[in-house]
Amino acid sequence: MEVRKGWREHHFNQFVSDLIPLDRKLPDFRDTRCPQIFSRSLPKASVIITFHNEAWSTLLRTVHSVINRTPEHLLEKIILVDDGSTMPHLKDRLGEYIGVLAKVTLIRTTRREGLIRARILGTKHVDSPVVIFLDSHCECTEGWLEPLLERIAEDFTIVVSPTIDHIDANTFEYIAQKYVQIGGFNWDLKFIWRHIPKHKFQGNEYKPITTPAIAGGLFAISLEFFKKIGYYDDSFEIWGAENLELSFKTWMCGGSMEIVPCSHVGHVFRKSFPYKTGRSMLKNYLRLAEVWMDDYAKYFYQRIGDLREDFGDVSERKELREKLQCKSFEWYLKNVYPELEIHTNVLQYGQIHDTRGICLDSSVRPMDMLGTVDPKPCHGHGGNQFWQYTTDRRIKRDDKCLDYSFDALLLTNCRVNAETQKWIFENKTKHLRHVLTKNCLKNAYFNDSRRITVDKCYEEQSQVWIIS
């Protein structure tokens, strides 16, 4: 009963978390080459932790990990921002607990503001040169702070993220990353992790590495620089897109971003969220695209199809961009994120669907090597159902191509001149014919269920496809 309640309320195993000490010991995950002594004078930092209906044990374990593993002379204060929580344990009980902790301040919003505005509110209480944001289900490890502060001390325009390790949502085992990854996104503007390009790696695994984007839950930034670039867009609602907004304007407006391998902070990654964002997330992404992406916003609009939302007035954010004399999004793509493929050879794009409203759908992630293709009702919102048919006769979703070989239909990494990935869309018959086998894509029935297959070409509705 208690286990189910925890999963229902927090989408992680609260029962197990409650059994673990709030100040549990963790190994030192730093590379032996990471510096232990820093030559320059490091600035003080304030840590802001925003939360909404967070579990008691995860919230307080985050706080205790900061207190226990941060040199006292470098920590100005910890600011907890309660964003409209309704759970009883976060009321008087939390206030009494926090009251006896040195350097910890609790402030509360008068209503639910969302992560973005709650963070902005927290910065109003910061006196230190550096502000660090943490999610409310994290654990800092030994030596986590100093490498972050060192980079900002060297250049106040650098925004730095620690190496974000994985805390298992079921067992709460702390799992350190073996290989550092950098942040990125696809044209649907969803954040992704990417392998480090070889030209950036150079064998220095322990040194800071530039990243086109950060995840946004855990990072350090100069308060002066954060203020200069306009904090966050305070018209963003609840959660979503704030990490990319920060990433775009940091790079485009005179700063840079790095991931610091010598700093390790664990984070509980949940498969879903215990609160609903509704259409607010879409509004945020539309504001982001309108202000920062210039003509390249069209690639995002293609992905979301007919999904639209009133995103409000963005004139002030555009004026800020002009005032800061920020570079173009084209500059960002060319100089910061050249790995993001711009598809200029697209003949048709959109949903690939049959005459009954069933679409090709695939939930393959960028880091996956393989993905399946499934028949699902069309939703008109792009995403998993957005495809591109190219001049070189490929059916693509981001960096994956529809591949048919050894009787298996899969999404795999696109390969130059791979004949198994070439298809011909026949305008007259509406067939999608596989070039190598001469067979056609089919929406077939097996035991009262649908499956996308490849079969001999016939004049039948199951092989009729529309790209729109």
Q: What is the pTM of this model?
A: 0.84
Q: What pLDDT was estimated at residue 180?
A: 86
- Give the separation between CA 51 and CA 84, rounded to whole angstroms: 9
Q: How many CA atoms, within 13 angstroms, populate the side-chain half-sphere of residue 326?
A: 30
Which pLDDT score is estimated for 2? Answer: 66
- Which is more confident, 278 or 319? 319
In this predicted structure, the answer to whether residue 29 has a pLDDT above a threshold of 70 is: yes
Q: Which residue has the tokens 């926090």?
A: 98
Q: What is the CATH number of domain 346-467?
A: 2.80.10.50
**DSSP string for residues in 96-135:** HHHHTSTTEEEEE-SS--BHHHHHHHHHTT--SSEEEEE-
Q: How far is CA 110 from CA 84, 118, 125, in A?
A: 7, 11, 16
CATH 2.80.10.50 residue spans of the chain: 346-467
Residues of the chain with CATH 1.10.8.460: 280-335
pLDDT for the residue numbered 198: 64
Q: What is the dihedral of CA 194, 223, 44, 139, to 10 degrees?
A: -40
Q: Which two tokens stand for residue 263?
A: 């700093």
Segment (H or E) for 207: none
pLDDT surpasses 90 at 459 = no
Instruction: Assess contact for 120 and 233: CB atoms under 8 A.
Output: no
> 406-446: per-residue pLDDT in tens?
888 999 888 888 999 999 999 899 999 999 999 999 988 76
The answer, yes or no, to whether residue 141 has pLDDT greater than 60, is yes
Residue range 225-241: average pLDDT?
Answer: 91
CATH 3.90.550.10 segments of the chain: 2-268
Q: Which residues of 51-83 are buried (b: 16+ CB within 10 A; e: fewer)?
A: bbbbbbbbbbbbbbbbbebbeeeebbbbbbbbb
- 211-231: average pLDDT: 96
In this prediction, residue 269 has a pLDDT band, given cuts at 50, 70 and 90, of: confident
DSSP label at residue 326:
P
CATH 1.10.3720.10 fits 2-268, yes or no: no
Using DSSP's 3-state secondary structure scheme, residue 465 falls into: coil
How would you class 5 by CB atoms within 10 Å of its CB: exposed for 0-12, middle for 13-18, buried for 19 or more? exposed
pLDDT given for residue 11 in this prediction: 82
CA 462 to chain centre: 37
Closest by CA to 191, choosing from 174, 207, 213, 176, is: 213
CA 324/CA 233 separation, integer angstroms: 15
Q: Could you tell me the pLDDT band of residue 350, with boundaries at 50, 70 and 90?
A: confident
Phi-psi category of residue 231: left, alpha or beta, with phi > 0 → left and psi -120 to 50 → alpha: left
Dihedral angle over CA of 209, 231, 48, 17, nearest 10: -70
Residue 359 to residue 369: CA distance in whole angstroms: 22
Rounded to whole angstroms, the Cα distance separating 168 from 16 reads 11
Fold entry, domain 280-335? Helicase, Ruva Protein; domain 3 (1.10.8)
Model confidence pLDDT, tens digit, residues 58-81: 999 999 999 999 999 999 999 999
pLDDT tens digits, 308-339: 777 899 999 999 999 999 999 999 999 999 98
What are the CA-CA distances from residue 103 to residues 51, 100, 140 (Å)?
A: 18, 9, 17
Average pLDDT (160-169) is: 95
Q: How many CB atoms lie within 10 A of CB 405?
A: 15
- Give residue 369's pLDDT: 66
In degrees, to the nearest 5, what angle opens at C-alpha 56 toward C-alphas 54 and 59?
Answer: 65
**223 phi and psi, to 5 degrees?**
-60, -35
**Residue by residue, what is the 3-state secondary structure of 343-408?**
CCCEEEEECEECCCCEEEECCCCCCCCEECCEEEECCCCCHHHCEEEECCCCEEECCEEEEEECCE
Average pLDDT over residues 216-241: 93
Cβ 80 vs Cβ 105: under 8 Å: yes
